[in-house]
């Protein structure tokens, strides 16, 4: 079971002081938060993607690469990478590069985002959101698994004899989560490819996400990936803690009431009842989140939103001390109890490499001008290494067969 943080990268005024951090201040604070997440024993740090104020994170890979250079074991992810408005070729290149510089400590969550105007900013039509999602991921999936591809679709120019560089580390693509708040087609997509499904789980009642996750598990089995309980599920969550619950509520209320995400709506009490937001003592957070297993079954990743709504860095770091020092150790033990043997662990690069190669040698792609030069679409069969790789039964041979190379 993996535990960690996700941030939406908002730059919000602190309602108790009137201070609004600068972009530089908020960016540096985010790096500090990620480093402290590793220090307190968390597993994952995930960064959202936005292209408009009041958010700063327009380039998650740049920020995550910087964090990778200052951490040792923290798994770096996104929340979310926009599959609709980013070019799949650029996603393939950027995240493969991040794989290499981080030593494999990267995966990503794909989604359509929650900012409608982003579509025309990147020359896309929001009315084509789902078709873009389906087509773009089909291309991204192939770019990471086939050394040379020919491809033609509706929403971008065709590719002929194209090789995405660098190739994924160890020839194993980053693990992909498909994130959704409300869309069953995304659960279907995740199940079809055998990828992870991340239910945001911070805005809607549990019954809504139970339906989405049940659909994903059912379709996972339908597509032949295994029993429903072997599907890879992640959940979002929110918490704010103090030593006693009254202090937690008093301290967090002004931030909740003014938050651009959910302020001026339901009361803190109503929102806490309807969603997983838990404001109280560490024990109350433990009790609430240990119960997620009863609602959703065994799952692989739990991320918490902890740094939003204008909360100052000092308070966020204190929250991480509670989370890593008191809450997560207990949750790890609770989720390990009676966990069925066939329920997989959270995805890691080492686990994916083991699943692909077993105890055999790991393929390390090397430059080969004849493998696809992105100009002439050169044949992949013009030297000894390429011929060996293209033999039936090799990973490259299977890819070449699929593409007709």
Per-residue pLDDT of the chain (405 residues), as tens digits, is: 999 999 988 899 999 999 999 999 999 999 999 999 999 999 999 998 887 888 888 889 999 999 999 999 999 999 988 888 889 999 999 999 999 999 999 999 998 766 667 767 777 777 877 888 899 999 999 999 999 999 999 999 999 999 999 999 999 999 999 998 778 899 999 999 999 999 988 877 888 899 999 999 999 999 999 999 999 999 999 999 999 999 999 999 999 998 877 767 889 999 999 999 999 999 999 999 999 999 999 999 999 999 999 999 999 999 999 999 999 999 999 999 999 999 999 999 999 999 999 999 999 988 766 555 555 554 443 333 433 443 334 332 333 333 333
Spatial distance between the Cα atoms of 323 and 42, rounded to a whole number of angstroms: 8
What's the alpha-carbon Rg for the chain, to the nearest Å?
Answer: 22
What does pTM read for this prediction?
A: 0.88
pLDDT score recorded for residue 202: 81
Look at residue 385 and give its three-state secondary structure.
helix
What does the DSSP assignment read for 77-143?
Answer: EES-EETTTS-HHHHHHHHHHHHHHHTT-BEEEEE--S-TTHHHHTT--GGGHHHHHHHHHHHHHHH
CA distances (Å), origin 30, targets 21, 320, 324: 12, 13, 17
| pLDDT for 395 | 37
Rounded-to-integer distance, Cα 242 and Cα 223, Å? 45
Cα three-residue angle 71-233-68, rounded to 5 degrees: 10
Distance CA 131, CA 183 (A): 13
Q: 3: closest CA among 75, 105, 69?
A: 75
Domains of the chain: 2-362 (3.20.20.30), 366-405 (no CATH)
How far is the CA of 268 from the CAs of 18, 278, 302, 310, 354, in angstroms? 21, 10, 22, 16, 45
Please give the pLDDT value at position 11: 92
Paired with 175 in beta bridges are 107
């Amino acid at each position: 079971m993996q535990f960690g943080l996700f941030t939406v990268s908002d730059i919000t005024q602190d309602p108790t002081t009137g201070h609004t951090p600068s972009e530089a201040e908020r960016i540096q604070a985010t790096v500090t938060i990620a480093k402290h997440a590793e220090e307190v024993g968390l597993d994952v740090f995930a960064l959202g993607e936005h292209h408009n104020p009041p958010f700063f994170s327009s380039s998650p890979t740049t920020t995550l690469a910087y964090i990778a250079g200052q951490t040792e074991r923290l798994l770096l992810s996104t929340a979310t990478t926009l599959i609709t408005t980013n070019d799949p070729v650029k996603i393939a290149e950027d995240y493969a590069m991040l794989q290499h510089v981080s030593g494999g400590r990267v995966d990503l969550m794909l989604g359509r985002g929650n900012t409608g105007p982003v579509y025309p900013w990147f020359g896309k039509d929001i009315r084509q959101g789902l078709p873009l999602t389906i087509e773009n991921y089909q291309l991204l999936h192939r770019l990471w698994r086939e050394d040379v591809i020919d491809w033609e679709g509706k929403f971008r120019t065709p590719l002929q004899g194209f090789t995405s560089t660098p190739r994924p580390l160890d020839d194993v693509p980053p693990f992909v989560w498909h994130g959704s708040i409300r869309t069953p087609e995304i659960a279907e997509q995740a199940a079809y490819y055998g990828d992870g499904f991340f239910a945001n789980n911070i805005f809607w009642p549990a019954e809504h996400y139970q339906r989405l996750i049940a659909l994903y598990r059912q379709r996972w089995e339908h597509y032949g990936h295994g029993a429903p309980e072997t599907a890879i599920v992640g959940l979002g969550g929110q918490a704010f803690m103090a030593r006693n619950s009254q202090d937690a509520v008093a301290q967090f209320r002004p931030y909740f009431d003014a938050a651009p995400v959910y302020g001026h709506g339901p009361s803190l009490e109503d929102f806490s009842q309807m969603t997983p937001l838990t404001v109280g003592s560490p024990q109350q957070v433990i009790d609430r989140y240990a119960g997620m297993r009863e609602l959703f079954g065994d799952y692989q990743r739990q991320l918490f939103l902890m740094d939003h709504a204008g909360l100052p860095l000092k308070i966020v770091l204190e929250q991480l001390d509670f989370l890593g020092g008191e809450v997560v150790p207990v949750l790890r033990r609770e989720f390990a109890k009676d966990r069925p043997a066939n329920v997989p662990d959270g995805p890691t690069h080492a686990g994916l490499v083991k699943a692909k190669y077993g105890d055999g040698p790991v393929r390390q792609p090397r430059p080969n001008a004849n493998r696809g030069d992105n100009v002439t679409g050169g044949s992949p069969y013009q030297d000894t290494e390429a011929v060996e790789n293209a033999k039936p039964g090799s990973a490259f041979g299977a890819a070449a067969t699929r593409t007709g190379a």
